[in-house]
Structure 1
Amino acid sequence: MTYLHSMQAETDGIRAILPAKWRSLDGIVGVHWEAEAQAGANGYYLSPDPRIVFFFNDVSSQIRVADRENQLGRNDRGMARAIYVPAGVPMWTRFSARHRFSHLDLHLHQDRLMRYLAPSLGASKARSTIKRPVEVQDVGPVAALSRLVVDELSTDTRHPLFAESLVGSIATALLDIPRDDEAIQSGRLTQAQMNRLTSHLATHGDQRITVAEMAEVVGLSESWFATVFRETTGKTPLQWQLSRRIDAAQDLLCNGSLTIADIAAQLGFSDQAHLTKVFRQVVGETPAAWRRSRVQS
């Protein structure tokens, strides 16, 4: 199917420095941008379909990205070289410095992506896979595949199937496709599964995540997940989640000017007293005392 994407994009301080190269394929639109952004430039993006963004240079120190507008400057992160954004997931960005960049946008009709994945994965696993966001800094073969796609955007010498196959290869290289047998065979979670959990927790830093939700993220039953998780980490899922939230609290205590009450609210604790109690249990001292010791050292 010929398909034209409809993404909402609001930018300020970002301009194209060359005309965009683009091509519409079967359920895919590829666009290559050469652009420049001023320090403080920002953007908001929301698409009803999944998309892949690949940067041809490292932008992690110049572009900050967040899942909510109020996280920019407080709980944002560096933009990875390659990202997969599921349908309906918003993204806010901010440039910390003036920067020229080159990137490939691949807009994918959700039905087209399902049609590509489901024959090999099954419909249920394919649906689960396309709902999981991915951010990858070590891009490996995706770099070479993306360059080939850019070449195909400006030429019409090959059959469109070639470009569509390249995009399919990028998707399968980048998407977080679980292998159910790995955890069962080893009795432990794989590093990829732990990475999925860490990423999921990072994008839901102000919420408590249930064990059932964590199990779904890695594609295991709740009972089996709880068993292999403890074998992998030495902690229960909820103990691990709490320790990660305390790690995040320590980062905010060190790197920002937020009050302890602000940090408690941002990380989903009921109030400052709740954060203080849990922080003391995990770290051995109160957040205020821990912050003072880091400032003085």
Structure 2
Amino acid sequence: MTVLLSGIRPAAPLVFRAWNGVLADLWQAEIAPGGHGRYRSEAPRIVAVLGEPPSPMHLSWDGAEATEPVRVFYVPAGADVSTRFTGPTALRHLDLHFDPGALGARLAAAGREGAMDRPVCLSDCPVALSIAELLADEIRNGTGDPLTLDSLAYALVGKVFGRAEPISLSARGGLPEWQLAALDRFLRSELHRRVAVAEMAAVVGLSESWFAHAYRQSRGETPHRALQRMRVEAAMTHLSRAEPTLAEVSTMVGFADQAHFTRAFRTITGRTPGAWRKSALQQDCAKADCFSQDIHG
């Protein structure tokens, strides 16, 4: 998680607990006049401002600001969020960081597919705050077993997302850019092996069927086709050199065998890997000859 703070300092040691794809942080801080912060995490999270109202926290993201001070809010993975505070104050808050795949599966099972992709801000949420206080007590006292902690954490999830309207695919317009970027990074790091669509969906916390539709709406091709294109692009880098062999390149970029590699390469580029390599090496030789003539001419 990336955090930039100004006028905010810890007032007590951090208390944390991890279980079943959830990491809980319990913070106490002192806020100076004009205190503010910026935050970005690759894990989706819920933050609850504890204690008596009113909340001193104002929240903004992507250039938009919540109209009222927030008590409980959900932040999607990869989203940039800023906070500012009214006056000097003390602050207690509970942060729950979720494994994207686990949270996405729970929301999908509850008919909330796609709900992970947008922030939720609540200013009036007494039941959610009561659950957050109970969970904070269990974490602070170290008494909660994983079943109790999990039950309270997902009870809080239910109250937070219960206040958010489900997002239809047509309204969402596919996957947001941060999800596409996260997926691209994952796929490029895993080109050496087979990657199932279910794995891709888990990276962005969606069900397999929802992910496949949303991806196609965003990129105009299936996830499988996009992965093949990445494999072929990676293969081109290797083929631009005389070594390794075609069979070795096929294995390096994750194709089942050389025949599969050749079919996919020809489908995307219109040429076989061997023909593409020959052309690329000839062009390199021609460039080298031109360079030599320029030097000695």
Q: Matched residues in 1 for 2:22 and 2:87: separation?
A: 32
1:45 — aligned with what? 39
Residue correspondences, number: 174
Establish whether residue 117 from structure 1 lines up as the match of residue 107 from structure 2.
yes
Q: Secondary structure at the residue paired with 1:106?
A: strand
Q: Is the 8 A contact 2:49 2:91 kept in 1?
A: yes
C-alpha distance 147-39 of structure 1, shift in aligned 2 (>3 A): same
Q: CA deviation at 1:81?
A: 0.6
Q: Is the 8 A contact 1:59 1:78 kept in 2?
A: no
- Equivalence map 1:92-241=2 (5 Å): 92-121=82-111, 125-126=112-113, 128-176=114-162, 212-213=170-171
- Equivalence map 1:9-28=2 (5 Å): 9-28=3-22
Judge which range, 147-156 or 48-57, deviates more.
147-156
Q: CA deviation at 1:176?
A: 4.7
Judge which range, 150-159 or 166-175, deviates more.
150-159
Q: Deviations over 1:82-108 (max 9, x none)?
A: 101111111112224111111111111
Q: CA deviation at 1:177?
A: 7.0
2:74 — aligned with what? 84
2:210 — aligned with what? none
Query: After TM superposition, which residue ranges in structure 1, 4 or more long, deviate above 4 angstroms?
Result: none
Q: Matched residues in 2 for 1:176 and 1:145: separation?
A: 14
Q: CA deviation at 1:158?
A: 4.0
Amino acid at match of 1:117: L
Unmatched runs of 5 consecutive residues or more in structure 1: 1-6, 179-191, 198-210, 217-297
Q: Is the 8 A contact 1:104 1:150 kept in 2?
A: yes
Q: Is the 8 A contact 2:66 2:121 kept in 1?
A: no
Q: Matched residues in 1 for 2:90 and 2:48: separation?
A: 14
Q: Matched residues in 2 for 1:105 and 1:137: separation?
A: 16
Q: Secondary structure at the residue paired with 2:109?
A: helix
Amino acid at match of 1:148: L
Q: Is the 8 A contact 2:26 2:140 kept in 1?
A: no
| Structure whose alpha-carbon radius of gyration is higher | 2
C-alpha distance 120-27 of structure 1, shift in aligned 2 (>3 A): same
Q: Matched residues in 1 for 2:172 and 2:162: separation?
A: 15
Q: Is the 8 A contact 2:71 2:123 kept in 1?
A: yes
Q: CA deviation at 1:213?
A: 2.8
Q: Is the 8 A contact 2:73 2:122 kept in 1?
A: yes
Q: Secondary structure at the residue paired with 2:39?
A: strand
1:34 — aligned with what? 28
> Equivalent pairs: percent with the same residue?
28
Amino acid at match of 2:150: E
Q: Secondary structure at the residue paired with 2:126?
A: coil
Q: Is the 8 A contact 1:132 1:176 kept in 2?
A: no
Q: Matched residues in 2 for 1:92 and 1:158: separation?
A: 31
Q: Matched residues in 2 for 1:42 and 1:177: separation?
A: 27
Unmatched runs of 5 consecutive residues or more in structure 2: 175-297
